[in-house]
Structure 1
């Protein structure tokens, strides 16, 4: 499963600033429980995938599960011991920009205790602070 976009306008973007709160994607759409971010940061594919595996392991096959974020920003990096100049570095990683209030995962299940355990274990895999939303 690859969470990078199939098509994009430019390969390398500017860094930008990650400030403020989000006003989009901050409500539950599909499920009745969700994992909401309360801090700024970046999440790469490995973090999202390990959190997804943790949730699926706890919930089993009798519940619905949605990932609401996409890794659509490129992080570039130059190799070690390379002098300044000579253009922008090569693509290093794809990340998702996270702002406070963004819903990361959604779950539909009627067993509240099971969902709370699953989302708590998923929040331990992420590099940002999160909270559960109902």
Structure 2
């Protein structure tokens, strides 16, 4: 699973989910992409599940790019712990996506293959997605 090698601070505030994506909203590397249609938080397990679904769908053909990275730590307090005594320890990592963010890209495959691969990957993600082709 994806996680940062090292971070400046172990614990962070939750980022805002308001607004739209400014950068990272165009297909830059491949021919087709899957784009987030709503804002949300995608954890490293969901990114990995989507990546596996895409790679199994296209088999050996094509090349895939992952355009998001989980760099936000999510903390959690242990079970049956009383309130107070500070913030919990980092439990997992997540990526913040805004409407328009390109999540994955594919190149070297037919449009039908890419559409099917992204349909399968979309089922693994907690945000609505749409198919995108390079202009």
Q: Which range, TM-score by smaller chain? A: over 0.9
TM-score by length of 2: 0.93
Q: Distance in 1 between matches of 2:19 and 2:3?
A: 24
Q: Look up the match of 1:114.
A: 113
Q: Distance in 2 between matches of 1:49 and 1:121?
A: 13
Which deviations, in whole Å up to 9, do the C-alpha atoms of 1:61-83 show, x marking residues without a partner?
Answer: 12010001101001111123322
Runs of 4+ in 1 over 2 A off after TM superposition: none
The answer as to whether partners of 2:43 and 2:70 remain within 8 angstroms in 1 is yes
Q: Look up the match of 2:49.
A: 50
Q: CA RMSD in A?
A: 1.1
Q: Look up the match of 2:104.
A: 105
- Unpaired segments ≥5 residues, structure 1: none
Q: Distance in 2 between matches of 1:133 and 1:49?
A: 20
The number of aligned residues is 133
Q: CA deviation at 1:60?
A: 1.4
Judged with a 3 Å threshold, the aligned counterparts in structure 2 of structure 1 residues 116 and 84 are, in CA distance, closer, same or farther, namely same
Q: Look up the match of 2:22.
A: 23
Q: Distance in 2 between matches of 1:54 and 1:81?
A: 36
Q: Distance in 2 between matches of 1:110 and 1:82?
A: 51
- Unpaired segments ≥5 residues, structure 2: none
Q: Distance in 2 between matches of 1:62 and 1:83?
A: 53
